Amino acid sequence: MNVVLAIGRRILSVIVTLLGVSVIIFVVLRLLPGNAVSASMGVSEGLLTHAQVAALDRYYGVGQPAVQQYFSWLHAILTGNLGVSLSLQKTVSYLVGLDLPVTIELAFFAMVLGIVIGVGFGMWSALHPGKWQDNVGQAVSVVGLAIPSFILGTVLVVYMSSKFHYFPSSSSFVGFFTNPWLNFQQIIFPAFVLSLGIAAAILRTTRGAVLEVSGLNFARTALGKGVSRRAFIWRHLFLNSLTAVVTMSGIQLGYLLGGTVIIEQIFILPGMGNLLITAIHNQDYPLVQSVTLIFAAGFVIVNMFVDLLYSLIDPRTRNR
């Protein structure tokens, strides 16, 4: 029963948060100069008569009061209608369906690499405190936190293109099921760039949690009873540090969705980030609204599942 109540509370908090985000997105876009008519017509708007402008205002709903526009947009979203792109003249649902899998794949590979690097170096550092292994792990975390992903991505593209003739735009992006090997080549470098920042945060969290657990009484008792080193490391140290690692991984996954925006531009990936940048350049308000809301929904939903996973790992948090 407590688990059901916890899930209910988290779902309610997600709904309230997304409603707040939708209001912010709507208001911010309305504060920008221009509107849907000027965005769709460009300089040609000056050639229209007042009657034609009024007709376009009615078509795009621009002439309605702001509150009515917001609730019309909200009702459309709840019924699955994300609108029509002004610049591409296609439904937003169709465009999202094309680009969302690319972003999900990029985030998945980046998260897997980040967890592997972060947990691996974090455990290595924690098991050798104050030694050269610890110094290497600390250096990896400092580099990952200090170098912005867009700088690292740009340097990597320049280096790979000059030394190995690797050009991200040399061939169109292909899906994993179409050509797995080519898809892996296209996704691995941007995923690696994104993973370093994630790995640095997870590394520090893992190291700190393992060192803390290793100093507790039960850990010393386990060593005194002659538990094997492998069992002590994974069963006693790692499993009891897992809550902190999961929490940090969830936080990083939420921020990762936003980080894909710049990396997709650098590596010419046709994902949601690239779609959002294109929509902003074209002042495509329906597309910007919907894509931004999808990013926000992904962030909030990921954090909700992390909270639920945290509750499963540590039952003491279920009543919070």
pLDDT of residue 211: 86
Q: What 8-state DSSP symbol labels residue 131?
A: S
Burial-class residue 39 by CB neighbours within 10 Å (0-12, 13-18, 19+): buried
271 by DSSP, 3-state: which? coil
pLDDT of residue 227: 75
pLDDT of residue 302: 81
Phi, psi of 91, deg, nearest 5: -65, 145
Q: Are 303 and 250 within 8 A, CB to CB?
A: yes
Cα distance between residue 171 and residue 194, in whole Å: 22
Domains of the chain, with CATH numbers?
A: 93-280 (1.10.3720.10)
Phi, psi of 115, deg, nearest 5: -70, -45
226 by DSSP, 3-state: which? coil
Q: Which residues of the chain have pLDDT under 70?
A: 1-3, 6, 33-48, 52-53, 56-63, 167-170, 310-320
Cα distance between residue 306 and residue 316, in whole Å: 15
- Per residue in 149-194, pLDDT tens? 888 888 888 888 887 777 665 677 888 888 888 888 888 889 999 9
Cα distance between residue 102 and residue 196, in whole Å: 19
pLDDT of residue 317: 55
Q: Are 264 and 106 within 8 A, CB to CB?
A: yes
pLDDT of residue 53: 67
Q: 40 to each of 29, 34, 87, 88, 290, how far by Cα in Å? A: 15, 10, 6, 10, 17
**What residue type is 195 in one-letter code?**
S
Structure-token match 């039960």, residue found: 218
Burial-class residue 122 by CB neighbours within 10 Å (0-12, 13-18, 19+): buried
Q: Are 193 and 152 within 8 A, CB to CB?
A: yes
